[in-house]
Structures are given as C-alpha cells and as structure tokens.
Amino acid sequence: MRFASYEHLGRRRLGVVEDDGHLYPVPGHDSLLDLLRTGRLREAGAATLDVPAGPQLRDVTLLPPLQPPAVRDFVAFEEHVEGVRRSVDGTAGVPDQWYEAPTFYFTNPYAVIGPYDDVPMPPGSSVLDFELEVAAVIGREGRDLTPEQARDHIIGYTIFNDWSARDLQSVEMTVGLGPCKGKDSATTLGPVLVTADELEPYRDTDGFLRLALTAEVNGEVVGKDLLSNMSWTFEEMVAYASRGTYVMPGDVLGSGTCGNGGSLAELWGVRGGQTPPPLRPGDTVTLTVEGIGTVSNTVVPGADPIPLPTARKRPRARP
C-alpha cells in the first residue's frame, strides 16, 4: 500500500493511493503517525476498499507522509563519504571507524517539509546542497533488535532529502560535534509511505533493496545510483539504532546520501571545484526513487540571520 498525507478543501487527511491516481481516505484516521501507534496500519488501509474514492492526487496538496518523533540520518554509502569529506573538510579517504558501525546523527524532526514544498535558503548560507536518500519508517516499538527482528519493525519507506548548508556545516564540524545549523533548515519526506511488502520484489540475494536513484537539478540529471550500493542493510541500521535504547513507531531512519552525484558536495570533492554550482533561489531539485516516486522542491530566498555575539572570554570564577 501507499499512504499519503494531504490537504484538500482546507482539511488534512490520510489516504491510500491507488493505481488510478485516486486517494481513498482512511476511515477514522487523519494522521499516519497516530495510526502507526495503534499498530493497525494494514487493517486501516484495507478498510479504504469500502469507502468511496476521494480526490485525485493532482487536486490535493501533498504533505509529508508523517511528522516523525525522531529522525536519524545514517551515512551508509562509501562513495559519498569519500567525495563529501574531501569537499567539506579537505580530507581524502574514508575514516577507518566508518567501516566498524553504521554511524548516524539525529536531525531536526520539526524541519520536515512536503514533497513539493519550497525550500528557503538557510539563514547565513550561500552554499546550499541536496542529498538523495531513502528512509525506513519504524512501525512498532523495539529495543536491542537483531537485524532479523528489525525487518518486522520496518513498516515502510519514503524518499528523504537532507538539505545541507555546506558553508555552515564545514565550519561547525571543526568543533567536533557534527553538523548543527548546516543540517537544520529542511528535510523533505515523500511523496508517500510505501509499505515494506511492496518493495520486497526489489530485494537482492544479499538483503539489499535494488532501487534506482536519480537526482536532477533544473531538469538536468546530476546523479544516478542504486540503493543496493549501501554498505549496511536497513535492518542492520535499525538494529544498531535500537542498541541500548528504543526505536518507536514513526521514527525515520535515513540511508545517508547515495554516491555518483547523490549530492553536489560529493561531485565538488571529486572534481575539485564547485561544478555544478551551489543551489540558488529559483533552482528546482527533483529526486526519483524506483518503487517509491518523485519529490521536487524549489529553492526560494530565506530569512537573514539574527546577529549574535561571538563567545566572550569569561573569568573562571568559582563559588
């Protein structure tokens, strides 16, 4: 099934998307997150067979499929690490520790935007980038899961675009805490949540989902890759995320950016210069994932940063 959150005639709704392009409203539920928490997603989806067809997709405003309580973003593509590391901090190669475990960071769940929303330039940034990813969505609570157990906790998948202010990121990461405002402005999710069973035909013999990924800027293809080039499966990443803690319904886990042009920064690292150039207002980024769909966002001007002082040296007084 394919679940979409949408706005129609001033009301937010949740529906199942059928092949004819119609949305079939889910009876009694307008929030995908709330529905996931009931543990009855498939039953609710099946109930749409008994309701009249709703509007066509073209007649509604698609929203993010859900508002996640937590967003973890992994970095599972070796090729991306090689290129973007060279671009952001001028270091060649891949850190040895990267191979030991599927590293992730927590990003901002309040910055999630819809599949066709505009993306404001982050305040103070002039080097905006996209990141082509796929995200797994958790369907039920779990802790200290094995990869085999984790498969039953993944309810579905969606496209994930981790918008990145590279100029802010490169400065912030010298502190050693990872990205801050460089990754804080927008994350695209959409256009739908595709339930995990629909993507099983794409699974290869190693357990990876072999989905074609394509990135375009202003209609020109700048990147193409396969999701199966990840170095860890989603099940392994969910298992790692659940180690010593919980994954909960609605949690989103991004794959990390694919290689071969899954972001501009990777290309800059490979080519030694900003070609293609950073995104500017008016640029449109379109990302397509086989089996899931397409998202397309246009960059628009953003707010000016509110000035703040630099750190002040303080006397180290003690009580």
- On whether both 12 and 76 belong to a single domain, the answer is no
pLDDT at 137: 98
* Any domain includes 105: yes
pLDDT at 87: 80
pLDDT at 152: 97
How many folded domains does the chain comprise? 2
Q: For the chain, what is the HEC assignment? A: CEEEEEEECCEEEEEEECCCCEEEECCCCCCHHHHHHHCCHHHHHHHHHHCCCCCEHHHCEECCCCCCCCEEEECCCHHHHHHHHHHHHCCCCCCHHHHCCCCEEEECHHHEECCCCCEECCCCCCCEECCEEEEEEECCCEECCCHHHHHCCEEEEEEEEECEEHHHHHHHHHHCCCCCHHHCCCEEEEEEEEEHHHHHHHECCCCCECCEEEEEECCEEEEEEEHHHCCCCHHHHHHHHCCCCEECCCCEEECCCCCCCCCHHHHHHHHCCCCCCCECCCCEEEEEECCCEEEEEEEECCCCCCCCCCCCCCCCCCC
- On whether both 18 and 151 belong to a single domain, the answer is no
* Any domain includes 243: yes
Model-level pTM? Answer: 0.97
* Any domain includes 278: yes
* Any domain includes 81: yes
Digits of tens for pLDDT over the chain (319 positions)?
999 999 999 999 999 999 989 999 999 999 999 999 999 999 999 999 899 999 999 999 999 999 999 999 999 999 999 998 888 777 888 999 999 999 999 999 999 999 999 999 999 999 999 999 999 999 999 999 999 999 999 999 999 999 999 999 989 988 988 889 999 999 999 999 999 999 999 999 999 999 999 999 999 999 999 999 999 999 999 999 999 999 999 999 999 999 999 999 999 999 999 999 999 999 999 999 999 999 999 999 999 999 999 999 999 999 9
Q: Of 24, 45, 62, which residue constitutes the final position of a domain?
A: 62
- On whether both 75 and 51 belong to a single domain, the answer is no
- On whether both 216 and 236 belong to a single domain, the answer is yes
pLDDT at 93: 85
* Any domain includes 312: no
- On whether both 205 and 287 belong to a single domain, the answer is yes
Domain CATH code at residue 100: 3.90.850.10
pLDDT at 88: 74
- On whether both 23 and 116 belong to a single domain, the answer is no
pLDDT at 53: 93
* Any domain includes 314: no
pLDDT at 174: 87
- On whether both 222 and 294 belong to a single domain, the answer is yes
pLDDT at 158: 98
- On whether both 196 and 50 belong to a single domain, the answer is no
Domain that holds residue 50: 2-62
* Any domain includes 308: no
- On whether both 57 and 175 belong to a single domain, the answer is no
